Structure 1
Amino acid sequence: MFKSIIPFALAATLSSYANAQLITPTDDPVIVKKSQSAIEEDSSEHKRMGKSYEVSLTPVAIGPIPGLNTGVNIATYLTRNAAVIFGYSLLVGGRSCWGAISCSDKGYAFELYYRQFFGNSFYVAGGLDQRYVSSHGSDDFTGESYSFDGETTAASVVIGNQWHWQRFVLGCDWFGLSVPISSRVSNVKTRGSYGYDFEDAKNALVTGTRPMALRVHVGMTF
């Protein structure tokens, strides 16, 4: 009889010891495996979830019109990581002219972009710009001058980051390029030897590939 009781007693003792070891407090770290698809609760990617629209202002930017631009943007989210953006930009600071030469550039642009986020805040955006410009230059001493209107359809791509806090957003297109697909110049008027200056202005404003940089935007999501 005692021989049959001993194994049961030994098993009960070992079981009690194992349970005690399980509930004994320990300072050892607990490693939890995280799914690759998991999203951090306070991340910008998490804040984009459930958002449908975004409205933002661009106080100052380089491009898409050559020079300093300001603008407004409206975006609709297709998913938390993809959006279509419609923008309007206005030229507020044109090219610099030297000496007695004075010049004036005016312009505006419509933009249609697709923005794709990769991870938390980094994105690549690409699309089309439709730019309209007018330029005038003259020499105060000689009276020589030029003027023209220009229209450009360009393909553009930019890289940037955008951060989200509940509804508030802050982003920046760090760098990009605007490459003309088609262009047209009209109402050309030149006086004297300003043909060269006209060609230079046309290349800068209408036909040339232009950089875009530091296009900061601030806004709200809904």
Structure 2
Amino acid sequence: MLAKLGLVLLGLGSMTAWAQDVIPQPAAPTYRGLSEENRQMKRFGLWGGLGFRSVNYGLAIVSAEAAYFLAPDAFITVRASHMGGGASSSSLTTDPDYSYYFADARLHAEGQSQAISYQYFLGNSFFVKAGLENLNMTGRLETFGLMRTHIGDLNQQNALLGIGNQWQWRSFTLGCEWIGAAAPLSYTYSSYDNTVTHRLVDQFIDSKDQVALNLLYFHLGAAF
């Protein structure tokens, strides 16, 4: 009896081995690297970032961002940013038609933006992104120690493009958009003091229809 049972078990084992050899088995997933592997099963992300924008003047960017993963290699982000910066000038205005004369002046530009973007990974960590941005900026001209004049407000809608890398370690994520562009689609500009004429004022106004460069936007946070 035991001998027959042993033969039956041996036969079942042989049939199982034969089935494993003949019937195709699902292949183990292959990944292009650790970051791609760690993005599997992620659904949401939260991170903060710091970067720079260059247009007719320089701006520092501080942002908070939320992401929703459509797939391990693609997600949508919503970002809220604060921007501040400006430019300075030591030139003297001598045109008699100008109402004010500035020997030293500084442009102060400050505002907020809201953006929605689609980010897609072409490799383990390398990504491309595209999106839309609504930007509100306020410009003020300051003469050093003398006066500060509110020169105008700019509301601008931009198309966004960028490339960078984003690395994933379990839940921790670190990334950098190395370079990007914000191309104006439409704008409205409200002037508050038409009597102030200065090349820094022109720089602020002219930024409304110029492509801005986004540089070295670093972000870190978590994906889960």
In the superposition, the TM-score normalised over structure 1's length comes to: 0.75
Shift of the 46–131 alpha-carbon distance from structure 1 to 2, 3 Å rule, reads: same
What is aligned with 1:63? 53
Paired residues for 1:22-41 under 5 Å: 38-39=30-31
**Contact 1:152-1:184 at 8 Å conserved across structures:** yes
99, 104, 110: which one aligns with 1:106? 110
SS in 1 for 2:87: coil
What is aligned with 1:221? 223
Which deviations, in whole Å up to 9, do the C-alpha atoms of 1:93-126 show, x marking residues without a partner? x122123103221111001000000120000000
The count of residues paired between Structure 1 and Structure 2 equals 183
- CA drift of 1:201 comes to 1.1
| Aligned-partner Cα distance in 1 for 2:51–2:77 | 16
**Contact 2:154-2:189 at 8 Å conserved across structures:** yes
Fraction of identical pairs, as percent: 22
| Aligned-partner Cα distance in 1 for 2:54–2:200 | 22
| Aligned-partner Cα distance in 1 for 2:191–2:220 | 38
In the superposition, the TM-score normalised over structure 2's length comes to: 0.74
| Aligned-partner Cα distance in 2 for 1:144–1:52 | 47
Paired residues for 1:1-222 under 5 Å: 38-39=30-31, 43-58=34-49, 60-63=50-53, 67-92=59-84, 94-99=85-90, 100-139=104-143, 147-194=151-198, 196-204=199-207, 206-222=208-224
Shift of the 51–193 alpha-carbon distance from structure 1 to 2, 3 Å rule, reads: closer
- CA drift of 1:74 comes to 0.2
Amino acid of the structure 1 residue aligned with 2:51: A
Shift of the 139–168 alpha-carbon distance from structure 1 to 2, 3 Å rule, reads: same
Amino acid of the structure 2 residue aligned with 1:163: W
| Aligned-partner Cα distance in 2 for 1:47–1:134 | 42
| Aligned-partner Cα distance in 1 for 2:110–2:54 | 13
**Contact 2:140-2:148 at 8 Å conserved across structures:** no
| Aligned-partner Cα distance in 2 for 1:67–1:143 | 22
**Contact 2:46-2:67 at 8 Å conserved across structures:** yes
Instruction: Specify every segment of 5 or more residues in structure 1 that has no aligned partner in the other structure, as ranges.
Output: 1-34
**Contact 1:44-1:120 at 8 Å conserved across structures:** yes
| Aligned-partner Cα distance in 2 for 1:140–1:190 | 20
**Contact 2:120-2:129 at 8 Å conserved across structures:** yes
**Contact 2:87-2:108 at 8 Å conserved across structures:** no
Structure possessing the higher radius of gyration over alpha carbons: 1
- CA drift of 1:64 comes to 8.4
CA RMSD, aligned part only? Answer: 2.5
**Contact 1:144-1:190 at 8 Å conserved across structures:** no
Instruction: Specify every segment of 5 or more residues in structure 2 that has no aligned partner in the other structure, as ranges.
Output: 1-26, 91-103
| Aligned-partner Cα distance in 2 for 1:141–1:74 | 41
